[in-house]
Every structure is written in C-alpha cells, then in structure tokens.
C-alpha cells in the first residue's frame, strides 16, 4: 500500500486503519463495524465519501493498480463530459 500511496500521490489518498491485530484483538471496532470489514485485508475505494469499489483478500498491487487506473480514467471521462468535451475518439 505504501508504494501505491506514493505512485498515486495527488490523485488518490490512501489511508490505512488497523482493524485487527494478532490474536484477534480489534483496536478499531467502530471502523470495522462501520465499513462492514469481515476479511483482512479489505480495501475500500471512496469517491467524495461514497464507496465505489471494495476488494477483499487481495494482496497483489497489480490488482489494485489496474482498478485504480480504471477508476481514474472513468472519473476523468465523467469530468470531461460534464465540461461539455467531446467523448474520446470523436
């Protein structure tokens, strides 16, 4: 996650919470419950405070990178459309 945080600096904010420690203790039960975290690791992608994607039990950075790039591309296209720009390829 630290590598992804550096790679996407300024485009995506990465925040990490420890919701479970060794031997099952839960230092942040309110976060675990609020976001329905049932598997470790769980990565949740928010856009303006709204959950847009969630990955459970994924540990390969390439999976995150693929999905983050897809999200950023869709967000840029949506912003361009809102500004009245022509769709790509037109």
What are the structural domain ranges in the chain? 2-82
Q: Which pLDDT score is estimated for 79? A: 85
pTM of the model: 0.75
Ramachandran angles phi, psi of 82, nearest 5°: -65, -30
Q: Which pLDDT score is estimated for 12? A: 92
Q: Which pLDDT score is estimated for 63? A: 93
Residues 6 or more apart from 38 whose CB is under 8 A from it? 56
Residue by residue, DSSP assigns 36-72 as: T--SSSEEEEEETTEEEEEEES---HHHHHHHHHHHH
Measured distance CA(32)–CA(42) in Å, rounded: 10
**In the predicted structure, residue 85 carries a pLDDT above the cut 90:** no
Fold of 2-82: Glutaredoxin (3.40.30)
Q: For residue range 26-84, what is the model confidence (pLDDT) as tens digits? A: 777 788 888 898 888 889 999 989 999 999 998 899 999 999 999 999 999 988 888 88
Q: Which pLDDT score is estimated for 24? A: 65
């Amino acid at each position: 996650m630290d590598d992804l945080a550096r790679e996407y600096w300024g485009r995506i904010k990465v925040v990490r919470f420890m919701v479970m420690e060794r031997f099952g203790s839960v230092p942040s039960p309110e976060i675990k419950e609020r976001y329905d975290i049932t598997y470790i690791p769980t990565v949740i992608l928010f856009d303006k405070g709204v959950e847009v994607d969630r990955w459970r039990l994924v540990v390969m950075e390439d999976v995150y990178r693929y999905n983050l790039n897809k999200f950023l591309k869709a967000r840029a296209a949506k912003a361009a459309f809102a500004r009245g720009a022509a769709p790509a390829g037109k």
